[in-house]
Amino acid sequence: MRAHVPTSWLSASAVTLAVAATAGGLVGCSSTANPPAATSSSGKPTTATSSGTAAPSTSAGPPTTASIEIGNMLTYGSIGTTGTLDCADGKSLNVAGSENTLTVNGTCSTVTIGGTNNKITFDKIDQQLNVLGLNNTITYKNGDPKVENIGSGNTINKGG
């Protein structure tokens, strides 16, 4: 018995896998997308603890950022940065990471946000806003996107 898988599904799956593989390989690098205009970090070591049996971990140094642009899709991943991104006129944007404060200029066609405790302000979101993470604060000044808040504790506001 043969199963028919639509070509569009295969193409979308291939692009998704390619982006994921590229993002994983480029952590700490930047491709054609510009990094944030300004980045801030205390540079002091921090200790993270959990209620489980894992030992505390210590990290120091600047935050790690990956920014990749393929076609009309910009993918940005970072921890603890403050910066500016540009959707230009209709790019789609994926943001992952935590503790980021971002300003996004231009008009984003679709936006997907994962991660925790991000504060992101957009000039305009045109079609779709998907928020998958936890405790993110998202503000878009213009546009009338379809909003999907799949995460928990997120605040999504129009205006500002």
CA 17 to chain centre: 17
Q: Please report whether residue 120 resides in a domain.
A: yes
Q: Please report whether residue 58 resides in a domain.
A: no
Q: What average pLDDT is seen over the chain?
A: 75
Please, which pLDDT band fits residue 62 given cuts at 50, 70 and 90? low
HSE (side-chain half, CA atoms, 13 Å) at 158 = 10
CA distances for 152 relative to 81, 94, 149, angstroms: 22, 18, 8
Q: Please report whether residue 150 resides in a domain.
A: yes
Q: What's the predicted TM-score (pTM) here?
A: 0.63
Q: Which residue has the tokens 């002091």?
A: 44
Beta bridge partners of 105: 86
Q: Please report whether residue 116 resides in a domain.
A: yes
Cα first-last separation, the chain: 56
Q: Please report whether residue 64 resides in a domain.
A: no
107: containing domain: 71-160
Q: Please report whether residue 39 resides in a domain.
A: no
Q: Please report whether residue 79 resides in a domain.
A: yes
Q: Please report whether residue 114 resides in a domain.
A: yes
User: For 14-59, what is each residue's pLDDT tens digit?
Assistant: 333 333 433 444 333 333 444 445 444 444 444 333 333 333 333 4
Q: Residue 18: what pLDDT? A: 38
Say how many domains are in the chain.
Answer: 1
